[in-house]
Structure 1
Amino acid sequence: MGPTPHPAVTALLETSTTGRLRPLFEGNNISFAIGFKHINYVAEAAVLNHFREAGLPVGELYRRFGLGFDVVDLHSRLGALLAVDDEVEAVVTPVTEDGADRLRFKVEQFVERDGKRVKCAGSTILVALRIDDHITAEEPWPAGLERFTTARLGDGERLEIAATPLPYGDFTAGRGATADPVLNEVIGETNAFGWRRRMGYFYCHFNERVQMSGFLRVMEEVEDLFLADRGLAIKEVLDTRGWIPVVTRSRIELLDETVMEEELYTVYTVENVFKTLLYTCRMDCYVLRDGHLVKTATGSITHGYLHEAAPNQWEMAEFDRTTVEALTTPRKAAS
C-alpha cells in the first residue's frame, strides 16, 4: 500500500460539493436562454469550485506544485432551459475509479421553476494534472495526487497526407479559411465541412496550450460557419422561420495538445438526422506537425431548433424538406 493520501486529496476524491453559480450574460445570445457553451462553462466552474473546497485551488496547484488543471473530456446532456437570470445549484460528485489516472466528476445543474427543483443539465468531466516545465514546483505534490499527473495530454493519431498545405495564414485573416487542400483531402466525398483557424492566446492557458473552453468555442463557431455554408445562416433562419438553435448533447475529448498559434484544421461531419427533429455532427480537430496531421481533439454535438409556439413558450421545430436536404447533401470541396 502507498502512503496515506493527503486530506485535501481525500476530499477531492470522496466528498461531494455544492456551489451556487450564475451563467455569464455573454451566453444569453438568443431570447432569454443561455447557450450550450456557457452551460458547459458552469459545469467547469463547478469543478473548479470543488477543487477550492477541497483545499487545492487550481492557481495554487500551478504555483506551488507546478501542475496545470486541464479538462480533457467534457460530456454534457442538456435538459431544461437555463435562463439568463437563473442561479444554478451545481452539485459535484467525485466518481474516480480505483487505479484511474484521470479525476472524474459528475456535475448536475439544478434551477428552481415554480417552487420545484429542476435539473437543467448533467455532465461528466475528466481532469488531468499536467506537469508544467515552464516553472519549478515550490513543494512536493500532496500524497495521492501523483497518479493524476501527466507529462503530456495524450498522443494523438497521426495521419499521412499527400496535399501541400497553403502558406501560413495572415494574422488578419479573420475567421480563417474554408478553402484548403489539406481539408479537401481529409473530407473527400463525405458530408463534412472544413475550417482552418490560427489558435490565438485567448483560446489557451498556462502559457502554452488550448484549453477545453477554447474547443467549446471552436465547436460553436464551426457550427455557425457550417450552417451558413449550407444556406441555413442562423440570422436568416431566425428571421424567416422563427427557429432558434438548441443543443441537447455535446461532448469534446482532448487527444493531444494544441499549442498556442498553431493552425487548427477542423472537420465537421454530419453523422445522423433523426426524424426531422435533431441532427448530430462529429468534430475532429487536427494540427500539422512534421508533415503529418495530428488529431488533437474530437467530439460530437446534437442540434435541433425551437420555435415560439406562444409568447415565451418554446417547442421543438420539425425540419422542412429544404433543411433536411441542406443537412444531408455533401457540398463540393472548396478549391
Structure 2
Amino acid sequence: MTVTAEAVKALVQTESTVRLRPRYEGSNINTWIGFKHVNYLVEEAVLEHFRAAGLGSRFLFEQHGLGLDLADLDTRILHAFHQDDEARAVVVPRTKDDDGHLSFAVTLFVERDGKELKAVTSKVKVALRVDSYLAAAEVPAELSRFATTGIGGFAEFGEHHGAEVTEAATTALSAGRGTTGDDPVLARLLAGRNAFGWKWRIPYPYCHFNERFAMSGYLRQVEEVVDLFLADRGVSIKTLLDDRKWIPVVPHSRVQFLGEALMEEDLYTVFTVEEVFKDLTYTARTDFYVVRDGRLVQTATGRITHGYAVFGDRTDWSLVGFDDRVVRAFSGHPAA
C-alpha cells in the first residue's frame, strides 16, 4: 500500500460519517457520559476519517514513521450523552492549502424522541509527527507539508515559559507520584493567582508512540485537576453529590499543544479560575509545564467551562445556580 494523491485528496476534501458509541468507563454519574469520553468519540471519528481515506494511524506510523497526534481539540457539548447512545459522527475537512496541519470540524448527532439532535461540535487540528525514536522512514511527498519534527505552535506561550527554576525532589516513587504541597516551581506558577497547582510524574499508560504524552492524557489530566481543585476548595464532587445531588457538567473544553511532554517527566498542571458567569458556570484556564535544563517549558494550554446540574431521578437533570458557598470556593475565599 502506498500514499497516493487521491488518498490525500480524500483526507483533506471529502467528509466522512461513522457511527460510534461512548465507552462504559465514561459513565460516572447515573448513565451520563463525561466530557472526556465525549472527546474520545471525537478522536475516534477523526481516526476513522483517516482510515476511510486509506491513511490509518497504524499505516502512517509503521510505513512512514508519522505519528498521528490530535494537537488542538476544542469541543462544545450541546446535549448530554448516555450509556448505549449511538452517535452519528460527521467529519468535515477544514484544511487550508497553506496550513502545515490538518484541520477538521466534527459534529456528533444523537437521537432523542425520534428526532436527531446536534449534540457536540468540535474543531480539531492534527499533527503528523515525524518519529525520532526509531530509524528514520521516508515521508511521502504527498504528506510532507503536514509532517513536523515537533508538535506545538497552536497558541501563545504563557508568561512563565522559559523562566529559570529549581526543582524539588517531590515526585520520587518512594514519596508518591504527585504533590500539591510545598514546591518551589508550584509556588512560582501560583503566585498571586486564584489557582491550584499539581506536580505529577507522567506514567507510561498516558503516552503513545513510545514516549509522547497524548491528547487523551491531557484530557485525563484536566479531569483529575478539576477533581483535586474542588476537593482543595472544600467542595469536592462527592461532598456536593451527597449534600445536594449536584453533579459537574462541562459544556466546553479545549486543549492546545504548545510543545511535547515526555514519559517520566514531572508535569506541572496549573488550574486558574478566570470568571464566574451569572452564578451558573465558571471558566478556568489549564496550563501545563515541564522543566528542562532548569527552565520551564510550557507544553500545552486550554480552558474548561464548568457548571452543576441537579438530578431528581435517574434519567433527567437541570442546571442549577451556584450558592454562596460554591461561589466563595471558586473565588478563593473559604466559606464563612
Is residue 124 from structure 1 mapped to residue 126 from structure 2 by the alignment? no
* SS of alignment partner, residue 165 of structure 1: coil
1:73-132 Cα deviation digits (max 9, x unpaired): 000001101011101101000001121001000000001111100111111110010001
- Mapped to 1, the partners of 2:54 and 2:331 lie a distance apart of 50
Cα contact 1:64–1:137 (8 A) shared by 2: no
2:19 is matched with: 20
Distance 1:40 1:261 in 2: 25
On the 8 A contact 1:9/1:143 being kept in 2, the answer is: no
Cα distance in 1 for partners of 2:242, 2:41 equals: 30
**SS across alignment from 1:285:** strand
- Following TM superposition, by how much is the alpha carbon of 1:172 offset from its aligned partner in structure 2, in angstroms? 5.1
> What is the one-letter code of the residue matched to 1:170?
A
Residues 210-229 of structure 1: pairs in structure 2 closer than 5 A: 210-229=213-232
Q: CA RMSD in A?
A: 1.7
Give yes or no for contact 2:93–2:104 (8 Å, CA) kept in 1: yes
Structure 1 counterpart of 2:285: 282
Residue 91 of structure 2 corresponds to 92
Deviation at 1:311, TM superposition (A): 5.3
Partner of 1:329: 332
- Relative to structure 1, the CA distance from residue 52 to residue 83 in structure 2 (aligned partners, 3 Å threshold; closer, same or farther) is same
8 Å Cα contact 2:171-2:199 kept in structure 1 = no
Instruction: Determine the structure 1 residue equivalent to 2:69.
Output: 70
1:236 aligned residue: 239
How far apart, in 2, do the equivalents of 1:58 and 1:168 lie? 37
Note the C-alpha offset of 1:55: 0.2
- Cα deviations across residues 247-290 of structure 1 (Å, max 9, x unaligned)? 01000001001011100011100000000000001000000111
Cα distance per residue 1:185-216 (max 9 Å; x no partner): 11102100000000001110010110100000
**Aligned length, in residue pairs:** 326
Tell me how far 1:310 sits from its aligned partner.
5.3
TM-score by length of 1: 0.93
**Which residues of 2 match residues 23-102 of structure 1 at below 5 A?**
23-102=22-101
The AA in structure 2 aligned to 1:169 is T
Question: CA offset at residue 312 of structure 1?
Answer: 2.4
Gaps of 5+ in 2: none
Match for residue 142 of structure 2 among 141, 144, 159: 144
Contact 1:75 1:250 in 2 (8 A): yes
CA positional deviation for 1:313: 2.1
Q: Which amino acid aligns with 1:8?
A: A
Structure 1 residue runs of 5 or longer lacking an equivalent are none
Instruction: Report the Cα offset of residue 169 of structure 1.
Output: 1.6
Is the CA contact 1:111–1:118 (under 8 Å) kept in the aligned structure 2? yes
Three-state SS of the structure 1 residue aligned to 2:220 is: helix
Report if the CA contact (8 A) 1:159-1:294 is conserved.
yes
The share of aligned pairs that are identical, in percent, is 51
Question: 1:17-74, CA deviations, whole angstroms, 9 ceiling, x for partnerless residues?
Answer: 0001111100000111000000000000000000000000100100000100011100
Aligned partners of 2:107 and 2:120 also within 8 Å: yes
1:296 aligned partner:
299
Native 8 Å contact 2:285 2:304 kept in 1: yes
2:203 aligns with 200
Asked whether the equivalents of residues 170 and 178 of structure 2 are also in contact (C-alpha less than 8 Å), the reply is: no
- Tell me, yes or no, if the aligned pair for 1:6 and 1:143 is still in contact at 8 Å: no
Please give the alpha-carbon distance, in whole angstroms, between the structure 2 residues aligned to 1:30 and 1:258. 31
The residue number in structure 1 matching 2:162 is 159
Change (3 A) 1:168 1:87: same
Contact 2:170/2:179 (8 A) holds in 1 = no
The one-letter code matched in structure 2 to 1:149 is A
1:27 is matched by which residue type in structure 2?
Answer: G
Under a length normalisation based on structure 2, what TM-score does the superposition of the two structures give?
Answer: 0.93
Structure 1 contact 193–226 (Cα < 8 Å) conserved: yes
Q: Aligned to 1:215, what secondary structure does the other structure show?
A: helix
User: d(CA) in 1 for partners of 2:177 and 2:189?
Assistant: 20
8 Å Cα contact 2:30/2:314 also seen in 1: no
Name the amino acid aligned to 2:212. Answer: R
